[in-house]
Amino acid sequence: MVVPYKHEPFTDFSVEENRRALEAAIKQVESDLGKDYPLIIGGERIMTDDKIKVVNPANKKEVIGYVSKANQDLAEKAHRIADETFDWWRKTKAQFRADILFRAAAIVRRRKHEFTAHLVKEGGKPWKEADADTAEAIDFMEFYGRQMLEIDKGVEINSRPIENNRFHYIPLGVGVVISPWNFLFAIMCGTTVAAMVSGNTVLLKPASATPIIAYKMMEVLEEAGLPKGVINYIPGSGKEVGDYLVDHPRTRFVSFTGSREVGTRIFERAAKVHEGQKWLKRTIIEMGGKDTIVVDKDSDLELAADAITYSAFGFSGQKCSACSRVVAHEEVYDELLDRVVHKTKEHVNYGDPTDNSHYMGPVIDQGAYDKIMDYIKIGKEEGKLMAGGKGDDSKGWFIEPTVFADLAPDATIMQEEIFGPVVGFTKAKSFDEALEIANNTEYGLTGAVISNNRAHIEKAREDFHVGNLYFNRGCTAAIVGYHPFGGFNMSGTDSKAGGPDYLIHHMQGKTTSEML
Ligand SMILES: NC(=O)c1ccc[n+]([C@@H]2O[C@H](COP(=O)([O-])OP(=O)(O)OC[C@H]3O[C@@H](n4cnc5c(N)ncnc54)[C@H](O)[C@@H]3O)[C@@H](O)[C@H]2O)c1
Ligand SMILES: N[C@@H](CCC=O)C(=O)O
């Protein structure tokens, strides 16, 4: 029997002991930088000459490590091993697979600050965000382990007196898991272990900006008893290795989390049936967002301002769930805007995230920096700059928390995902109009409504078309097992990570009927 699932508590860094523990862990991680990391294929460590250079986004000169890069030959080798391993792995008991996750979760929990410190360095995450990322990785392992045990009980169906009917889920086959850099531990871990615990074998291609945490997870899973060949670690170029694996006729499913551009490309490519392919590939595709907080006339404006500030600038706005649009009723617009601008200028400082006094760290890389600065330039033409607007990429990739006011609902920066510390405000004449504006993007991931009006909350529950809708709080920070996460429309397939249906996406239902 396992104890009931409860999410991993966050660390309180105002407690001196906790603060010191993370400081020590950061020092430890710093003394360990610059190493070489191999691929892991069928349990074998393979060093390649071609390497991914992983740098600290807060200090470009600091190399976190050099990670071996898979090419198509190595991807093919990994695929063959994953395929062979699936033959016996698919028959292992759910309890055996779940136990690996429970042991792995316990290992990470015991070494929690070490992982968090690594995320501060590799991902540029401030302490609070890095701690939440580690906690979420633990949660995914604990939650999916339990979910698998539930699914293993089977589903009741009817039998007539002359027959014995059964219905149960079986795994799919070899899955390609492609993960993003922003929840470098949690999402990478959650998507990988969900596929594995459901009885599939996995080819894990982590994001090129953050592949080292994935290597560390592999070490933990191996220590927890994961057999060779079940998860194969193959970082590499998205285009070269990613396309090859997505197109491969023996790939049974692809689990992708990342941008709309790459997600739609994978969706299209996976739809093509290649020679020798015996199935239609399953795709689990979770993409970006353009997430809105609606602030009603009758609402707590201080709560609204806090919710907006954290949702817009937590981890420098680099969350698919980040608030990048505010739609406020015209009667409260000016006061709300004043409060958010004040909080941004007073409280949202930024700098090296190893220093816990910084609210925000850097953005992830030069590409992200340039893209966000381009959007800020557009924002200056489309609206009124109220705070921030500058960047500095001399040492790391730092951008000021930026607020734009008086934007048209269809302005570019109100429609396209920026994925940085930029939030835009627009006005609505009524609550109905506010909802219309909130729904006017191609995305549908998260949203929030700040309101004291029960009828308006109920209207939004029906009409605000997003996968994760929150009332009287911000629109980020979903918790595994409590807020199943995934979006509508161009935000993806709404697979709901951390929810009761998630594992089923990695499985297929089988009916057997025996005559008595
Ligand atoms: N909906 C969600 O749950 C969720 C969660 C986190 C991030 N995101 C989204 O992810 C994006 C940020 O992450 P990112 O910059 O890592 O996204 P990205 O799409 O650039 O990269 C994601 C992954 O895809 C790989 N990739 C790139 N080209 C590929 C190809 N042709 N074939 C296969 N794989 C390829 C990358 O190497 C990386 O591992 C944002 O849009 C954000 O909103 C969504
Ligand atoms: N699940 C996270 C977002 C993941 C995407 O970046 C949240 O709810 O804030």
Q: Provide ipTM, 2 decimals.
A: 0.99
Position 1 scores a pLDDT of 78
- Phi, psi for residue 358 in degrees, rounded to 5: -90, 125
Torsional sign, CA 324, 329, 330, 336 = negative
Inter-CA distances, 312 with 72, 185, 318, 341, 465, Å: 39, 21, 9, 12, 20
Joined tokens for residue 203: 């080819």
Q: What is the DSSP string of 300-334?
A: -HHHHHHHHHHHHHGGGG-STT-EEEEEEETTTHH
The reply to whether 209 and 149 lie within a common domain is: yes
User: What distance in angstroms lies between residue 256's CA and the mean position of ligand 1's atoms?
Assistant: 7
Joined tokens for residue 290: 């353009």
| Domain encompassing residue 398 | 291-471
Ligand lying closest to the C-alpha of residue 180: 1
Beta 468-471 vs 446-450: how paired, if at all?
parallel
The reply to whether 368 and 401 lie within a common domain is: yes
Ligand lying closest to the C-alpha of residue 179: 1
Q: List pocket residues of ligand 1, CB cut-off 6 Å.
A: 178-183, 187, 205, 207-208, 238-239, 242-243, 246, 257-259, 262, 265-266, 286-289, 320, 417, 419, 445, 487, 491-492
CA–CA separation, 153 vs 188, rounded Å?
27
The reply to whether 498 and 462 lie within a common domain is: no
The reply to whether 266 and 308 lie within a common domain is: no
- 445 touches 456 (CB < 8 A): no
* Structural domains of the chain, count: 2
- Tell me which of 8, 286, 382, 416 is the catalytic residue: 286
CA-closest residue to ligand 2 atom 1: 478
198 assigned to some structural domain: yes
Ligand 2 within 6 A of CB of 183: yes
The reply to whether 366 and 255 lie within a common domain is: no
Ligand 2 within 6 A of CB of 478: yes
Is 142 among the residues known to form the active site?
Answer: no
483 assigned to some structural domain: no
CA–CA separation, 128 vs 12, rounded Å?
9
Joined tokens for residue 398: 């730092």
Joined tokens for residue 167: 């219905």
The pTM for the full model equals 0.98
The reply to whether 177 and 53 lie within a common domain is: yes
Using CB atoms within 10 A of its CB, is residue 458 exposed (0-12), middle (13-18) or buried (19+)?
exposed
Ligand lying closest to the C-alpha of residue 289: 1
CA–CA separation, 2 vs 504, rounded Å?
21
User: What distance in angstroms lies between residue 94's CA and the mean position of ligand 2's atoms?
Assistant: 28
* 509 SS3 class: strand
The reply to whether 267 and 302 lie within a common domain is: no
CA–CA separation, 496 vs 113, rounded Å?
28
CA–CA separation, 192 vs 183, rounded Å?
13
User: What distance in angstroms lies between residue 286's CA and the mean position of ligand 1's atoms?
Assistant: 9
* 506 SS3 class: helix
The reply to whether 372 and 278 lie within a common domain is: no
Residue 395 is part of a domain; what is its CATH number?
Answer: 3.40.309.10
Inter-CA distances, 464 with 294, 299, 305, 317, 488, Å: 10, 18, 20, 22, 11
**Left if phi > 0, otherwise alpha if psi is -120 to 50, otherwise beta: which for 479?**
beta
325: CB partners within 8 A, 6+ apart: 290, 291, 292, 293, 414, 423, 424, 426, 438
358 assigned to some structural domain: yes
CA-wise closest residue to 336 among 451, 222, 210: 451
69 assigned to some structural domain: yes
485 assigned to some structural domain: no
- Tell me which of 8, 114, 320, 417 is the catalytic residue: 320
2 assigned to some structural domain: no
Position 40 scores a pLDDT of 98
Ligand 2 within 6 A of CB of 477: yes
Joined tokens for residue 445: 């991931």
Best of 208, 239, 255, 262 to mutate for ligand 1, by most ligand atoms within 8 A of CB?
262
pLDDT under 50 in the chain at which residues? none
- 134 touches 108 (CB < 8 A): yes
Beta strands in 409-491 (DSSP E): 422-428, 446-450, 468-471
The reply to whether 186 and 129 lie within a common domain is: yes
User: What distance in angstroms lies between residue 400's CA and the mean position of ligand 1's atoms?
Assistant: 24
13 assigned to some structural domain: no
> What value does the CA radius of gyration of the chain take, rounded to a whole number of Å?
23
The reply to whether 89 and 215 lie within a common domain is: yes
Which run of H or E residues covers position 391?
strand 391-392
- Phi, psi for residue 188 in degrees, rounded to 5: -60, -45
Is 62 among the residues known to form the active site?
Answer: no
Ligand 2 within 6 A of CB of 496: no
The reply to whether 52 and 193 lie within a common domain is: yes
Joined tokens for residue 68: 């071996």
The reply to whether 272 and 318 lie within a common domain is: no
Paired with 263 in beta bridges are: none
103 assigned to some structural domain: yes
Residue 84 is part of a domain; what is its CATH number?
Answer: 3.40.605.10
CA–CA separation, 159 vs 508, rounded Å?
21
Position 198 scores a pLDDT of 98
